[in-house]
Structure 1
Amino acid sequence: MTEVLVLGPGCSKCKETYRVVERVIAENHLDVKLSKIEDIAEMMSYNIMTTPAVVVDGTVKIKGHVPTADEVKKALGI
């Protein structure tokens, strides 16, 4: 199972990023564990300076903007 994390402090862009990722997962019937990380210390462990960020299996794939559905699909390898 793939693990996807959306990193962000809870701003509107972070919430929208979570919705985009959630929608891609649902529309493609993917076996993915999706979590949201709002803890600053945990976010910093990924060496990101801008949020929102999308982490797939421990690797930062998208950061600094709300991704499109196509960007999320590419990050997930579909």
Structure 2
Amino acid sequence: MTTIQVLGTGCKKCVSLKENVETALRSAYIEADVQKIEDINEIVSFGVISTPALAVDGHVKIVGKVASPEEIVRLLQQ
């Protein structure tokens, strides 16, 4: 199963990204383990210095922006 990590300290944009991930998964009928990572040290361990960020199976795919549900679906279907 795919693991999706939403990296962010809890700001409005980070919350929006997590909501968009959940919307994308529902709309594309994709099952995934969605994790919200708020610990700054763990976020930095991904090499991320700008949030929100999105990682798929531990690989950072999006940094510093709130991706739309459509963008997330395209990313997951690659």
Quickly name the TM-score band, shorter chain normalised. Answer: over 0.9
Unpaired runs of 5+ in structure 2?
A: none
1:44 partner letter: V
The count of aligned residue pairs is 78
Q: How do residues 1-78 of structure 1 correspond to structure 2 at under 5 angstroms?
A: 1-77=1-77
Instruction: Quote the offset at 1:70 in angstroms.
Output: 2.2
Tell me the TM-score normalized by structure 2: 0.94
**What is the TM-score with the length of structure 1 in the denominator?**
0.94
Unpaired segments of 5 or more residues in structure 1? none
Note the aligned Cα RMSD (angstroms): 1.0
Residue 68 of structure 1 aligns with an amino acid whose one-letter code is S
**Could you report, residue by residue, the CA deviation over 1:26-65 in whole angstroms, capped at 9, with x for unpaired residues?**
1111120001000001000000110000000111001101
Give secondary structure in 1 for the equivalent of 2:49.
coil
Are the equivalent residues in 2 in contact too, given 1:56–1:75 (CA < 8 A)? no
Give the share of equivalent positions with the same residue, in percent. 40
